[in-house]
Amino acid sequence: MANLIVNSSEWLGVEVAFALPDKQVILPIQVAVGTSLLDAAINSGINNHFPELDVASARLGVFGKLVAKPAEQAVKEGDRIEIYRPLLADPKASRLRRAEKKTV
């Protein structure tokens, strides 16, 4: 018979966050030790709040720092996994446009 009691040291408490200009959701979840950032974000239920969000292709970070390979990085206790929206405009191109307007 399988052991139904799960040792609390096998689970980590993390948060998954996503925001739009008019709505922000931070979900506290429990994940197994060794879970990747990507798996935690996908399985968090964030799509219940944002059905249009494609978590699998979104950029992810932890506490404001972009993670290059979220499928390979394991979560740590207390992490806030952030799902980033695509930029609406390229920052470099925007700066160049503003600089050109000032010189004219």
Q: Does the residue 4 lie in any domain?
A: no
Host domain of residue 39:
10-103
Q: Which residue has the higher pLDDT, 4 or 79?
A: 79
Residue 49, helix vs strand vs coil: coil
Residue 63 Ramachandran class (φ > 0 left, ψ -120 to 50 alpha, else beta): left
Q: What is the pLDDT of residues 58-86, one digit of tens each?
A: 999 999 999 999 999 999 999 999 999 98
pLDDT of the residue at 94: 75
Q: Does the residue 5 lie in any domain?
A: no
**How many independent structural domains does the chain possess?**
1
Q: Is the pLDDT of residue 47 over 70?
A: yes
Q: Does the residue 95 lie in any domain?
A: yes
Q: Does the residue 56 lie in any domain?
A: yes
Mean pLDDT computed over 96-102? 81
pLDDT of the residue at 62: 98
Q: Does the residue 66 lie in any domain?
A: yes
Q: Does the residue 75 lie in any domain?
A: yes
CATH of the domain at 85: 3.10.20.90
Q: Does the residue 47 lie in any domain?
A: yes
Question: pLDDT category, 97, cuts 50, 70, 90?
Answer: confident
pLDDT of the residue at 1: 35
Q: Does the residue 63 lie in any domain?
A: yes
Residue 60: partners with Cβ closer than 8 Å, 6 or more residues away: 37, 38, 41, 66, 67, 70, 81, 82, 83, 84
Q: Is the pLDDT of residue 57 over 90?
A: yes
